[in-house]
Amino acid sequence: MAENNLQDERQVRLKKLEKIKEEGIIPYPEKFTKTHFLLESKSLKEGTEVSVAGRIMTKREMGKIAFCHLQDWSGKMQIVFKLNEIGRDNFKFLEKKVDMGDFLGIKGKIFTTQKGEISVLADEYTFLGKALRPLPEKFHGVKDQDTIYRQRYLDLLMNEDSKKTFKFRSNFIKNLREFYYLEGFDEVETPTFLHQATGATATPYKTHNNALDIDIYLRISHELPLKELIIGGMEKVFELGKAFRNEGVDPSHLPEHTHLEHYCAYWNFEDNIIFTEKMIDYLFDKLDIDRKMELIGRDEKTHQVDFSTPFKRVNFIELIKTDTGLDITKYTDNKKLLTDIKKAEIEFDGMNDMSLAGLVDNLYKKVSRPKIINPTILYHYPKYLQPLARVNDQDENIVDQFQLVVNGWEIIKAYSELVDPIDQKERFNDQLKAKAAGEEEVMESDDEFITALEHGAPPISGWGMGIDRVVALLTGHTNLRDVVLFPLLRPTEHENTKTQKTKLNK
């Protein structure tokens, strides 16, 4: 609908709003008591009295009878109004002052129309809210991607697939929490503001606290505070919350994402592999998901993916060797590896300025990761790739870490934690050297964490999952913005102008 037409429609509705007020009706009342959701009402016996409410999605009048479809979060249902049932004044009000998009509360009885549609025959109705702007046309829904992301409320109202996606996300998180509770975990909350942004290799957001007059960072990971809780005596902890990374935005990365981490005393990474497969089985059963599904990969092609456990296990070092001919254990120098990558005619952005760890990580992401379709456990990672992981007892050059990769996406990362404070300090120092040499994304040092480790820690294994990625994967989406209710976007031109005026006024 053109902008001028929208404004005209808004003016018409504003006049109706004034007339509603003139009749002594409160246009935005305090509450309405419901007895049933609309979808629930459809399964009730004829003659059952119900009290339902929702938004009007369709509306039509035929002489002395009127029909509308109400919609609530459960679904839609037809409501039938008869003049002789609700009275002439109420019927006229419905006809003249109530629009599509408005809210109504209905008290009536379940019945079936002559066309066989289960409906509510209204005994009375209550006006519950005037919409001043019209909804998009129901036939077309909301197709514009920018509108879908900026005005998610319209997307949820008009697009059934989006509603299903976010219902699934809610149920997924609910059952995920239930699994942890059944497994004896305690849910905890750790700070969003930190003195050091560490626990991962990512660029943080920096801000300032006026009261303390200090610079602080938004967390990029939950890791170090959770491990400090294990040091403090807790044994099984998990946290579900936001993490923030000031990096590029693409279909598989968002600056604000929902992250899940857990830590267990006395476990190693093998225990977490078993735990992961048990979790997947539990969630697929509880959510009634078929183990075999067709998913669109990063290559935009459809792949058959089988989530049956146990998952295939692949040695990370051998995988890269098979795919590239390069044995990454033979390199201690980034220059030599860079030369050999170029000889193999492999290219990726920024490769000329990367450290050894950066080259190996991006080599894997370029050549090996896109080929992994079925859920695969990758293990045996070089020590320099994970500064927080424990060194393997048989080979001091690798760490006890695994990642679960599905359809080209890294879904879960876990490892046996490094709890030796001396080794941890040395690894942090190595990261500082890499940063001084020009590496942009390194693991920042945290002296407070070293102090905590020096008080003694048991064996620990930690585990992390990107909730947005898993939900996207299981709902068949290839862009994380499609499974996040309000993804971060650039401001509109109107918002930019408003911001500039605010700055000038200050």
Extended strands (E) in 6-115:
49-62, 65-72, 75-82, 103-112
- Structural domains of the chain in order of their starting residue, each with its CATH number: 3-135 (2.40.50.140), 158-311+374-483 (3.30.930.10)
Q: How sure is the predictor about 506, in pLDDT bands with cuts at 50, 70 and 90?
A: very low
Residue 378 clears pLDDT 70, i.e. is over it: yes
* CA gap 200, 232 in Å, rounded: 22
pLDDT confidence of residue 241: 96
Tokens 């990672």 correspond to what residue? Answer: 381
Strands 292-296 and 302-306: antiparallel
Among left, alpha and beta (phi > 0; psi -120 to 50; other), residue 116 is: left
pLDDT confidence of residue 429: 86
DSSP state of 287: T
pLDDT confidence of residue 239: 98
Residue 344 clears pLDDT 80, i.e. is over it: yes
Residue 333 clears pLDDT 50, i.e. is over it: yes
pLDDT confidence of residue 504: 44
Residue 299 clears pLDDT 60, i.e. is over it: yes
Residue 439 clears pLDDT 80, i.e. is over it: no
In the Cβ-directed half-sphere of 106, how many Cα atoms lie within 13 Å?
35
pLDDT confidence of residue 173: 98
Q: Who's near 375: CB < 8 A, 6+ residues apart?
A: 280, 305, 306, 307, 311, 312, 404, 405, 406
Average pLDDT of the chain? 92
Residue 440 clears pLDDT 80, i.e. is over it: no
Q: What is the percent of the chain with per-residue pLDDT over 90, rounded to a whole number?
A: 79
How many whole angstroms from its chain centre is CA 192? 18
pLDDT confidence of residue 495: 59
pLDDT confidence of residue 431: 78
How many whole angstroms from its chain centre is CA 92? 46
* Cα-based distances in Å from 58 to 171, 272, 327, 328: 29, 51, 65, 63
User: 3-state SS of 370-396?
Assistant: HHCCCCEEEEEEEHHHCCCECECCCCC
Binding-site residue set:
410
User: 3-state SS of 168-217?
Assistant: HHHHHHHHHHHHHHHCCCEECCCCCEECCCCCCCCCCCEEEECCCCEEEE
How many whole angstroms from its chain centre is CA 71? 25
At residue 34's C-alpha, the angle toward residues 36 and 53, to 5°, is 90
Q: How sure is the predictor about 500, in pLDDT bands with cuts at 50, 70 and 90?
A: low
In the Cβ-directed half-sphere of 192, how many Cα atoms lie within 13 Å?
13
pLDDT confidence of residue 446: 85
Handedness of CA 329, 331, 334, 340 (dihedral sign): negative
Instruction: Considering only CA atoms, give the Rg of the chain.
Output: 29
Q: Which H or E element spans position 449?
A: helix 447-454
Residues 266-292: pLDDT tens digits? Answer: 999 999 999 999 999 999 999 999 999
**How large is the average pLDDT for residues 130-153?**
87
Binding-site residue set for Mg(2+):
410
- Among the ranges given (157-161, 390-394, 496-500), the one the predictor scored with the smallest mean pLDDT: 496-500
Asked if 108 and 50 touch (Cβ cutoff 8 Å), the reply is: yes
Nearest residue to 1 (alpha-carbon basis) of 91, 153, 134: 134
| 310 upstream amide cis, omega within 30 of 0 | yes
Assessment of whether the complete model's pTM goes beyond 0.85: yes
Asked if 156 and 166 touch (Cβ cutoff 8 Å), the reply is: yes
Extended strands (E) in 449-491:
460-466
Residues 407-437: pLDDT tens digits? Answer: 999 999 999 999 999 999 988 888 777 777 6
Residues 56-95: pLDDT tens digits? Answer: 999 999 999 999 999 999 999 999 999 999 999 999 999 9
pLDDT confidence of residue 372: 96
pLDDT confidence of residue 159: 93
Residues 185-242: pLDDT tens digits? Answer: 999 999 999 888 776 777 889 999 999 999 999 999 999 999 999 999 999 999 999 9
Residue 505 clears pLDDT 60, i.e. is over it: no
- Dihedral, CA of residue 86, residue 90, residue 96 and residue 99, to nearest 10: -70
* CA gap 218, 238 in Å, rounded: 19
Residues 170-194: pLDDT tens digits? Answer: 999 999 999 999 999 999 999 999 8
pLDDT confidence of residue 453: 96
pLDDT confidence of residue 50: 98
Angle between helices 356-363 and 334-343 (to 10 degrees): 30
